[in-house]
Amino acid sequence: MDILEAIKTRRSIGKVTQEPIDKAIIEQILDAGVMAPNHRLTEPWRFFVLRGDGRKKLGDALARIAIDRVADPSSPESVTKAESAHKKAFRAPVIIAVAVSPLERHDIIELEEYGAVNAAIQNMLLTIHGLGLGAIWRSGEPCYHPIMNEAFGLRPQDKMLGFIYLGVPDMAPPQAKRSAAATKTTWID
C-alpha cells in the first residue's frame, strides 16, 4: 500500500473478531514501531503483547483501577464497574500495550521521549492497516494510573501511553473527518 494512501485511509477499528493473529505478523508490527524516529536513539518504548490468558493482566489492572475510582469499594456499583472494566481487555485477540520509559540523562528532553513513543504507535497503526488488519489505540486516565504501572512493572517515571487493540476487522471503517491542512497552516516566507 502506498504510504500516502495508508495515511489517508487508516481509521480506528473498534470492533474486531476473535480470530488469532499469527506471532510473525505481530512481530512485523513491533518491528515497524521500533523504526520510529527518536532523538539521540534512546529507544524509549516498551511493548507488552497480550494474547489469550495474558489479556487478564490488563483486565485485572483495569478492574482494580475501576474499584479505586469508586467512593465505596465494597458497594455493588464497585463490583459492576470492576467486571465491566475487566471485560475490556478481551475485546480483541491481541492487545499491544505501549509504554514510555524516559531515559534519565541531562541531555534528554522527556517530552521528546513521549513523542518518539507516539510516533512508534503511529508506525504500528499504519502497518496494521497496510496488512489489512484493524486496530484502535485506546488511552485515557487508566493508562496513567499508578496501578497500571505496577501491573506492568513500570517505574514511577514511566507511563503507559496506550493499548492497541488488534484483530481482523468486524466493521466497515468510518469516514474521515478532518479539517483541511490549510485551515491549520500559516505560511511564513
Is 145 among the annotated ligand-binding positions? Answer: no
Q: 152-187: per-residue pLDDT in tens? A: 999 999 999 999 999 999 999 998 889 999 999 999
Q: Where does residue 23 fall: left (phi above 0), alpha (psi -120 to 50 degrees), or beta otherwise?
A: alpha
> Could you tell me the residue ranges of all domains in the chain?
3-170
Coil, helix or strand for 116? helix
Domain 3-170 top-level CATH class: alpha beta
For residue 70, pLDDT beyond 90: no
Is 64 among the annotated ligand-binding positions? Answer: no
Instruction: Give the C-alpha separation, 127 to 141, whole Å.
Output: 26
Whole-number pLDDT of residue 132: 97
Whole-number pLDDT of residue 61: 98
**DSSP designation for 56:** H
Q: 19-56: per-residue pLDDT in tens? A: 999 999 999 999 999 999 999 999 999 999 999 999 99
Whole-number pLDDT of residue 77: 87
Is 12 among the annotated ligand-binding positions? Answer: yes
Is 11 among the annotated ligand-binding positions? Answer: yes
Number of C-beta neighbours around residue 60 at 10 A:
16
Is 74 among the annotated ligand-binding positions? Answer: no
Q: 84-115: per-residue pLDDT in tens? A: 999 999 999 999 999 999 999 999 999 999 99
